[in-house]
Chain A
C-alpha cells in the first residue's frame, strides 16, 4: 500500500479494501517510527488528520468521492492551514498557528484529501539542502548522511521514505525539482500563476509557485487537477479554463522535438549525472522523439539575476515579521528599535538574514538602477532565450541538478556552491515557465532527475512526456533501503 499510486489508492478506498482512517493511520505509524531520524515533518497532528480521514470515509460511503478523496498528503509547511502550526521552517513562526487556509490547502480539503502533516523546509524556502531549517536538517532516505535537497526537502524525503503517498512543494528557484531529483521523485513546478499563492508564505513573490511532488507523473497530474485554477485572492493568478492535466498522459511521443541546451551539458555538470541524462534522452529517441541542439546563451546570468531579484522581494516580504502582531518577539528590549532588532535577530537564521541584507542593499538609493533594474532587464533576456528556443523544439530537456545528493554540511559554509545547485532550474522561474523533474536513473548509487521544461501552460503535455517515459522505465519505482 505504501508504494501504491494515487489511482490505486483511490481504487482501494473505493473498493473498501482500506478505509481512509486506516490508510492515514498507516502513514502516521510510519511517521512515528521513521520521522524521528528522517525529520521530514515539522508538525504532525494525528487527531486532525484522522478527523479528516473520518470525514473522507463518510464521503466515500455516500459515493461522493473524488479522485483524491481519503488520500493523505504531506503539506509543505509554507502553506497556511487553519488550526495547524505553520512555521515556514523558521523560529520566527515557531508558535504561529494559521487562522486560515491557503488556497492550495482549501483545494485539497475540498477534494476530500487528508492533511497528513506539515513538512520540513529550508527557512522561508531559502536553501537547496534543507539545512537552513530552524527545525533541523532532513535526511535523504537514499543515504541518511546526505541532504534531500531544498527547499522542499521535507516533502521530498517524506515521499521517498514513503511517509506520505505524495506531497506539495513550492519552487522559487528549483525548490521542487532539485529535491525531487535528489530523492528520486517526480516533481512539477507549474507555469507562474497556475496555482494560487494565496496563503503560501511569500519568499520571492514574482517567482514563487506551488506544485506537486509524487512518485510518478500520473500522480502529479491528478494532484494538478486539484491544485491548479484561478483564485481571485491572488492578483497574479491566471484566469483560465479548468484543465484536465491527465488528458495527455497516453499521448504518443512520435515526432516530439526535444531541445537540448548546450549550456546544460557544459562545465559544472557531474559526469555520472550527464550519463544518466543522456541515457534518458536516448530512451526518448526510442519513443519516437527527435532531438535538436539549442542554446540558452543567457543562462549563465540566471543565478546572479536571481540573487538580486529574489532577495530584493524577500527583504520586503519578510518585513512583516517585526514582533509586533504575531511571531517571535524578543523577551526583553529597551525601545521600539531594540524590539525590532532583537526580535528579527533572534527569529531569523543566517541564510535569511544574508538574503534580507542583499535585498535591502540592491534596492537602496544609489544601487537600485545598477542591481535591481539591471536584473529586471536581464530577466527579460533570459525569458527571450526560451522564446527563441521554443521556435525549434516542443520541450527542453537536461539535468535538474548539477549533481546527486551531497553530504550534509558539505556546502553550508559556501553559499555560492549552494546557490549553484540551482544552475539548471532558476532560469525557468525567471521566465515563469513550467519545469518538471522525473527520476531517470542513478549515479554513484543516488537518484538522478531528468528535467523537462515546457512552454507556458504545457503542463499536461509535459506530464504525458513524463508518463510515457515511466511506462518504459522503472526508475520511479525504486525505493531506498531501510524504510520498510
Chain B
C-alpha cells in the first residue's frame, strides 16, 4: 500500500520583550538560577498578573506578517496542571479566543511552492526549568524562564513530508526573526517545535491517529524525527498494529522516537477564563501603530530587489532569505555608494547601479564561500564594508574580476577587520590592473611573437584563436592587464 504522511506543527516562539508577559522581571537568558524570578514568577500568595503590552504588539506583528485576522477581543485562560516548574499550578494561555486567527505562510520545496495554513497563534507564558543535576540529592527548579512570553503558532495538518515540515519551520524561524519578535536561538530554546505526525493510505481523506513529537530544537533533528516516526507508524500499521495517540520524545543519540505518555495519562487541563485578567481588546489604532513600525516583509523586499536592481529571481530570493543576508546586502550597497558616488546624478541611481553589482556578488561570490565553509552570513569573514571596498576597486577598474576573486579569497583567510583590507592586499601584492597602453603593447608583441601558429589560425579565419591569444596576454600579465585594452590592441595588431 502507498502511505501518505500528514504533519502539523505547533511552534513555541519566545518573544523578545524586555520583561515577562505578566510581570516586570527581566527575560534575559543565562542568568544565575532564580535571580530573575520576582514575586509573580514564583507565584507568591496574593500576586496578580499584569499583561505586558509589548508581547501583544509582537503578536500583532506576527499576525500582520502572515496576513491573519487579529482577534479584536481575545481571552486569557488558565491551563491547570501540577508540575514543579509551573509555579501557579496553572499556565496562563489563550484557549477559545486567540490573539491571532487564521493566516498563511508560503514555503518552497525544490521548485514547488506550497501554502501552509496557520490555524492560530496565541500568547502564553513559559514555564520554569527543572534542573536534574544533583542538589543535595534533590532536583532543582529555576524559575528565571517562568513567565517569559511565548507565541504558540499552530498550523493545519498541511505538510506531507519531513522536507515540507522542515521548510515550513525554517521559513517561520526566518520570519519571526525578520519581524524582530524572536531571536530564533534554538539552542537556548527560543524557538521550539512540536510536530504532530500521522499516516494514512494515500488517496484517503480521513486523518490517521497522530503522535506528537515534543520539543525539537534543531531542524536536523526534526527531519530525522519525522522520518523515523513516519517509518515506525507505517511499519506498525503494516504489521497489523494500531497507532495510539501519544506524546513522544526524539532521542538524537539513537535517532528514534519513544512514547512519553499516552492519551489516557494526559491531563484534563480544566481550561477556564482567567478571572485575574480582563479580555485583551485590540483596537484599530493598536493595529495601525504596529503596522507603521512593521519592517518590509521578505516577499515584498524580494520583488523590490528584482525591480530596483534588476536582479534575477534567484538572486533576489537569496538576498531576502534571511534578515542577516538582506542586511549584509543593503549595508554593502550603501557603503559602495558612499565610497564611489562619482558620475551618478542621484543617490537613487547610484543605488540602482551598485545594488546590481553587490547583489551579484553577495548571491554569487559570498554565497558560494559561505556554502563551502558551511557557515551563516552572521559569521562571514569579510564584512559588508570590506566587501564594498573590494567592489569599488573592481568598478574603478583598479583590478579585474578575476583578481577580485583572488583578493576576496585572501581577505576571507586574512581574518582582518580593516575596512581597507582589499586595497592593502592589492597594493602589497602589486595586483593593480595594468592600463598603460605602452606596457600592454609590449606584452601583446611578445605574445604574438611567441604564438605564430595561433596567429596563423586566426588569420585563416578561426575566430576562437583570438580568445586564446587574449588568454595568453592575460597570463603573461599575471592577470593584471586591462582585458578591454588587451582586446583592442590585439585587434589592431592583427588587422
Contacts and interface: CB of A to CB of B under 8 A. Distances in A.
Given A316-B90, A319-B80, A336-B84, A235 B48 contact: yes
Interface string A188-220: 000000000111111011100000000000000
B425 interface: no
Contacts of B39: 99-100
Contact of B46 (A202, A312, A336): A202
A3 B88 CA distance: 43
Interface stretch (A50-58, A322-330, A380-388): A322-330
A233 B48 contact: yes
Contact of A320 (B49, B51, B88): B88
11 contacts: A102-B46, A197-B48, A198-B47, A235-B48, A235-B49, A319-B80, A320-B45, A325-B141, A363-B272, A365-B270, A368-B272
A364 interface: yes
Interface in A368-404: 368, 372
B276 interface: yes
Is chain A's interface secondary structure helix, strand, loop, or mixed overall? loop
Contacts of B43: 320, 325
Contact of A80 (B44, B270, B271, B277): B44
The 5 A-B pairs at the shortest CB distance, nearest first, are namely A319-B89, A206-B275, A363-B270, A205-B275, A199-B46
B237 interface: no
B336 interface: no
A93 interface: yes
Which of B45, B90, B271, B276 has the most A CB atoms < 10 Å from its CB? B45
Given A205-B275, A319-B88, A86 B45 contact: yes
Contact of A322 (B45, B48, B82): B82
A320 B46 contact: no
B259 interface: no
Nearest to A309: B275
Given A235-B276, A316-B80, A325 B42 contact: yes
Contacts of B456: none
Of B46, B87, B141, B272, chain A has the most CB atoms within 10 Å of the CB of: B46
Interface centre among A88, A201, A363, by most B CB within 10 Å? A363
A421 interface: no
A314 to B, nearest CB: 11
Contacts of B276: 202, 205, 235-236
Nearest to B49: A235
Given A197-B48, A198-B47, A200-B46, A320 B89 contact: yes
Interface in A294-317: 312-313, 315-316
Given A100-B39, A325-B87, A319 B82 contact: yes
Nearest to A319: B89
Interface in A223-242: 232-236
A372 B82 contact: no
Interface of A: 79-80, 86, 88, 93, 96, 98-100, 102, 197-202, 204-206, 232-236, 312-313, 315-316, 318-320, 322, 324-326, 336, 340, 360, 363-365, 368, 372
Interface residues of B, number: 28
Contact of A319 (B44, B90, B278): B90
A364 B44 contact: no
A79 B45 CA distance: 9
B356 interface: no
A96 B45 contact: yes
A316 B272 contact: yes
B78 interface: yes
Interface string B236-280: 000000000000000000000000000000001011100111100
A234 B48 contact: yes
Contacts of B82: 319, 322, 340
Nearest to B139: A336
Contacts of B42: 325-326
B330 to A, nearest CB: 41
B229 to A, nearest CB: 27
B50 interface: yes
Contact of A365 (B45, B87, B268): B268
Given A316-B89, A322-B82, A363-B271, 8 more contacts: A98-B44, A206-B275, A235-B48, A313-B275, A319-B90, A320-B87, A365-B268, A365-B270
Interface string B34-70: 0000010011111111110000000000000000000
Interface of B: 39, 42-51, 78, 80, 82, 84, 87-90, 141, 268, 270-272, 275-278
Contacts of A365: 268, 270
A336 B86 CA distance: 13
Contacts of A336: 84
Which of B42, B48, B80: most chain A CB closer than 10 A? B48
B46 to A, nearest CB: 4
Contact of B45 (A93, A232, A324, A364): A93
Contacts of B270: 315-316, 360, 363-365, 368
A80 B51 contact: no
B45 A235 contact: no
Interface-centre pick from B78, B270, B277 (highest chain A CB count, 10 A)? B270
A368 B89 CA distance: 19
B277 A198 contact: no
Given A319-B90, A320-B88, A88 B141 contact: no
B89 to A, nearest CB: 2
A365 B95 CA distance: 14
Nearest to B268: A365
A312 B272 contact: yes
* Most chain A Cβ neighbours within 10 Å, of B39, B49, B51, B272: B272
Given A100-B39, A316-B89, A80 B272 contact: no
A420 B490 CA distance: 112
A360 B278 CA distance: 22
A102 B44 CA distance: 11
A200 B47 CA distance: 8
Contacts of A320: 43, 45, 87-89
A99 B268 CA distance: 34
A44 B270 CA distance: 40
A313 to B, nearest CB: 6
Contacts of A368: 270, 272
Nearest to B43: A320
Contacts of A313: 275
B50 A233 contact: yes
A312 B270 CA distance: 9
A235 B276 CA distance: 7
Given A319-B88, A319-B89, A199 B141 contact: no
Contacts of B45: 80, 86, 88, 93, 96, 98, 201-202, 320
User: Which of B51, B90, B276, B277 has the most chain A CB atoms inside 10 A of its CB?
Assistant: B276
A248 B357 CA distance: 80
A313 B272 CA distance: 9
A373 B64 CA distance: 33
A382 B52 CA distance: 33
A20 B396 CA distance: 88
A168 to B, nearest CB: 14
A379 to B, nearest CB: 12
A360 B141 CA distance: 26
